């Protein structure tokens, strides 16, 4: 019987093949108390399993193909760090010693504690890092049980086109699919910024995540279609549906080949206006993917990832400097915009702040996060600023400050940047004294009070994800109101248009680095508003570039003006259709 499931589209394309189900690890482990004399032997069991998992990860690393995306090696590094992290290992040992839990019970108990911390995180990307800890724990539990995490031996080539269906997939495990006839994947869990979604995009594999109960409803060897453009999974499709999707699949393959021809052509509109297409990155080695996609720079380097890998301490200046320098050098002179840390005391970094004890905010989105947290921890902030400034000696670097809203916040930040420069001067360390400093426009107050920013800063970057959330009072993490998250709400569009217009009038460069920048359906609308710099995931660069090359700014003026003059949903949609046809 044919049926359709709906989830979140995270990697474009169409996959048709047979389902291969991966059973989740059994986290429902045995719970029992051990005798005092068994404590050390129980800890030794953990260490043995830990060594086994370390060997598995090193084997995966050794098997990386020369053309494997840089994300793969980076994610293996992350899992290796988690495997040895004190918040996982030492706390598990403490539960064994103080409560006399068996090792499986202690490990799953500590996982539950860490998961609660991550559930409170407002930032979608960081919140989904919880999956990495779960995947590492799953590996250790399987090692304790004597099971292998590898794919079944009989899978290789058993199906001409295999589509993996799972509750969740660890990015490291996806390495094994490189040697399989692997066409796509479907998971019950995940979101647009989960690691598996990132890897899927980097590999160009059609994927749908957050497809609830998919692993329970889909059976082994079911014929399925994964529509990665819309997050749709069709199980046992009718012949006419299968024929339609087969045709669309061949059309997309042809489109992808055509897109590759655009990589080295100038990015300009039909009327000759040059448009900058930059990349968003999370890891230093992501810069390679940015270069390969033809990016003209890094428009957003999210530095939170460097901090999230240290559950028991903040990264030292040298470590941060090394990461920033690597990204800058990989970009070969192209500009790299580094955003300062965008987490707060409500996040797992609490434990690294010396244990002074910020209470978890009732509403983390409105609490001590981003620049507010950085200004409350000036020594931490100065350390990061010094590291970024030092990296500027090796290439073009800009500093981007998140979540600014008040004049005093801007002034305090600029004072600390001057102090970081003074400290480097005293230490005789090199940096670019003319590093530009910019602000994220992601709070409605910032857009409305734009003159405060235009007077003090060198550039602006519109973060559409948070701007939409704060403008519409929508918690993106709350499924009960997620349907109200609307990038095309008139209030959101007016704030974006106002920011672009006023920045242009003041001669201040402005970019867009949120999800809207990487959505080709939004490209013409943003161009018509006056945007000339987009920043997005590298996988989206060429499809957005194609829209740019087909656009003429003069013909977009009237339909875009009609969109901004519309308030009723039907009027907005009708005006948007005219934009797409202009």
| Cα diameter, the chain | 80
What's the rounded Cα separation, in Å, for the pair 357 and 371?
Answer: 19
- List, for residues 165-194, the tens digit of each pLDDT value: 988 776 555 555 544 557 888 998 877 656
pLDDT band at 221 (very low <50, low <70, confident <90, very high): confident
Q: Estimate to the nearest angstrom the gap between the alpha carbon of 270 and the chain centroid.
A: 32
Coil, strand or helix at 340: coil
86-96 core/surface letters (b: 16 or more CB in 10 A; e: else)? ebbbebbbebb
Q: For residue 340, give the nearest of 311, 310, 369 by alpha carbon.
A: 369
Determine the pLDDT at residue 260: 85
Q: What's the average model confidence in pLDDT over 482-508?
A: 93
Distance set, CA 264 to CA 183, 203, 224, 261 (Å): 28, 21, 36, 7
**Domain 464-581 in the same topology as domain 9-22+158-249:** no
Residue 502 has pLDDT above 60, yes or no: yes
pLDDT band at 315 (very low <50, low <70, confident <90, very high): confident
Tell me which DSSP letter residue 268 carries: B
Q: What is the 3-state secondary structure (H, E, C) of 19-66?
A: EEEECCCCCCCCCCECCHHHHHHHHHHHHHHHHHHHHHHHHHHHCCCC
Cα torsion through 184, 200, 170, 78, rounded to 10:
170
Q: 462 has which bridge partners?
A: 441, 512
472-500 core/surface letters (b: 16 or more CB in 10 A; e: else)? bebbbbeeeeeeebbbbbbebbebbbbbb
For residue 309, the tally of other CB atoms under 10 A from its CB is: 16
Range 9-22+158-249 classified under CATH 3.50.30.10: yes
pLDDT band at 41 (very low <50, low <70, confident <90, very high): very high
What's the rounded Cα separation, in Å, for the pair 338 and 387?
Answer: 11
Coil, strand or helix at 72: helix
CB 206 within 8 Å of CB 163:
no
Q: What's the average model confidence in pLDDT over 359-380?
A: 81
Q: Which residues contact 327 (CB under 8 A, 6 or more apart)?
A: 281, 284, 286, 287, 298, 301, 336, 338, 391
What's the rounded Cα separation, in Å, for the pair 327 and 219?
Answer: 44
Q: For residue 350, give the nearest of 311, 386, 292 by alpha carbon.
A: 311
What's the rounded Cα separation, in Å, for the pair 190 and 409?
Answer: 35
Q: What's the average model confidence in pLDDT over 297-308?
A: 87
Percent of the chain with pLDDT over 90: 54
Which CATH superfamily does the domain covering 26-145 fall into?
PtsI, HPr-binding domain (1.10.274.10)
Please list the alpha-helical segments (H only) found in 274-430: 286-292, 304-308, 317-330, 371-376, 378-391, 407-427
Q: Domain segments of the chain: what residues?
A: 9-22+158-249, 26-145, 277-347+364-441, 464-581
- List, for residues 244-293, the tens digit of each pLDDT value: 999 999 988 888 888 888 988 999 999 999 999 999 988 898 899 899 99
Determine the pLDDT at residue 198: 63
Q: Is 242 exposed, middle or buried (0-12, 13-18, 19+ CB in 10 A)?
A: middle
* CATH code matching the domain that covers 277-347+364-441, chosen among 3.20.20.60, 3.40.50.300, 3.40.50.720, 3.30.1050.10: 3.20.20.60
What mean pLDDT is reported for the chain? Answer: 85
Q: Which helix (H) or strand (E) holds 215?
A: helix 214-217
| Helix-strand-coil split of the chain, %, nearest 5 | 55, 15, 35
pTM > 0.75: yes or no: no
Residue 488 has pLDDT above 80, yes or no: yes
For residue 291, the tally of other CB atoms under 10 A from its CB is: 16
Determine the pLDDT at residue 132: 80
What's the rounded Cα separation, in Å, for the pair 308 and 326?
Answer: 19
- List, for residues 92-139, the tens digit of each pLDDT value: 999 999 988 899 889 988 888 887 777 666 666 666 667 788 888 888
Coil, strand or helix at 101: strand
What's the rounded Cα separation, in Å, for the pair 83 and 80?
Answer: 5
What's the rounded Cα separation, in Å, for the pair 511 and 499?
Answer: 10
Q: Which residues are catalytic?
A: 195, 513
- List, for residues 465-477, the tens digit of each pLDDT value: 889 989 999 876 5
Q: Which residues contact 186 (CB under 8 A, 6 or more apart)?
A: 5, 7, 163, 164, 165, 166, 207, 208, 209, 211, 214, 218, 224, 226, 233
Q: Which residues contact 78 (CB under 8 A, 6 or more apart)?
A: 132, 195, 309
Q: For residue 127, give the nearest of 173, 174, 195 by alpha carbon.
A: 195
Determine the pLDDT at residue 128: 61
What's the rounded Cα separation, in Å, for the pair 401 and 405?
Answer: 11
CATH number of 464-581: 3.20.20.60
């Amino acid at each position: 019987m044919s049926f359709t499931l709906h989830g979140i589209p995270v990697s474009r394309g169409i996959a048709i093949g047979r389902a291969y189900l991966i059973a989740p690890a059994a986290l429902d482990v045995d719970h029992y108390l051990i005798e005092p004399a068994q404590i050390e032997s129980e800890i030794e069991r953990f260490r043995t399993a830990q060594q086994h998992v370390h060997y598995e990860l090193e084997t995966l690393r050794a098997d990386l193909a020369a053309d494997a995306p840089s994300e793969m090696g980076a994610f293996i590094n992350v899992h290796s760090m988690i495997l040895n992290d004190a918040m996982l290992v030492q706390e598990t040992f403490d539960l064994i010693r103080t409560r006399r839990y068996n090792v499986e019970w202690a490990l799953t108990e500590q996982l539950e504690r860490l998961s609660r911390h991550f559930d409170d995180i407002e930032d979608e990307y960081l919140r989904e890092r919880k999956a990495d800890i779960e995947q590492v724990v799953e590996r250790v539990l399987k090692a304790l049980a004597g099971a292998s995490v590898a794919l079944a031996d009989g899978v290789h080539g058993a199906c001409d086109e295999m589509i993996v269906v799972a509750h969740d997939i660890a990015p490291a495990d996806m390495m094994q699919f490189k040697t399989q006839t692997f066409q796509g994947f479907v998971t019950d869990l995940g979101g647009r910024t989960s690691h598996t979604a990132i890897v899927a995009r980097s590999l160009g594999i059609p994927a749908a995540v957050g497809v609830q109960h998919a692993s329970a409803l889909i059976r082994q060897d079911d014929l399925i279609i994964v529509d990665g453009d819309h997050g749709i999974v069709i199980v046992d499709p009718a012949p006419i549906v299968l024929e339609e999707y087969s045709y669309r699949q061949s059309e997309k393959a042809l489109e992808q080949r055509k897109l590759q021809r655009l990589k080295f052509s100038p990015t300009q509109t039909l009327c000759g206006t040059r448009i900058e297409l930059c990349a968003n990155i999370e890891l230093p080695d992501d810069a390679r993917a940015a270069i390969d996609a033809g990016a003209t720079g890094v428009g957003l380097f999210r530095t939170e990832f460097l901090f999230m890998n240290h559950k028991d301490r903040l990264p030292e200046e040298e470590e941060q400097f090394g990461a920033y320098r690597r990204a800058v050098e990989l970009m070969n002179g192209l500009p790299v915009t580094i955003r300062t840390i965008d987490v707060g005391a409500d996040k797992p970094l609490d434990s690294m702040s010396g244990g002074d004890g910020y209470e978890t905010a009732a509403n983390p989105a409105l609490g001590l996060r981003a620049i507010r947290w950085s200004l409350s921890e000036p020594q931490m902030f100065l350390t990061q600023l010094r590291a970024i400034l030092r990296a500027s000696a090796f290439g073009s670097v800009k500093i981007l400050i998140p979540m600014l809203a008040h004049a005093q916040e801007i002034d305090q930040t600029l004072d600390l940047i001057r102090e970081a420069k003074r400290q480097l001067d005293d230490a005789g360390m090199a940096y670019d004294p003319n590093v530009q400093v910019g602000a994220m426009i992601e709070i409605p107050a910032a857009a409305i009070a734009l003159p405060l920013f235009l007077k003090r800063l060198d550039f602006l970057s519109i973060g559409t994800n948070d701007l939409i959330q704060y403008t519409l009072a929508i918690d993106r993490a709350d499924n009960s109101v997620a349907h109200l998250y609307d990038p095309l709400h008139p209030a959101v569009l007016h704030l974006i248009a106002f920011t672009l217009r006023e920045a242009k009038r003041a001669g201040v460069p402005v970019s867009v680095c949120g999800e809207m920048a990487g959505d080709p359906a939004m490209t013409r609308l943003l161009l018509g508003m006056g945007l000339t710099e987009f920043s997005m995931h590298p996988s989206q660069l060429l499809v957005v570039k194609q829209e740019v090359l087909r656009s003429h700014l003069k013909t977009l003026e009237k339909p875009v003006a009609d969109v901004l003059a519309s308030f009723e949903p039907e009027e907005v949609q009708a005006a948007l259709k005219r934009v797409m046809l202009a």
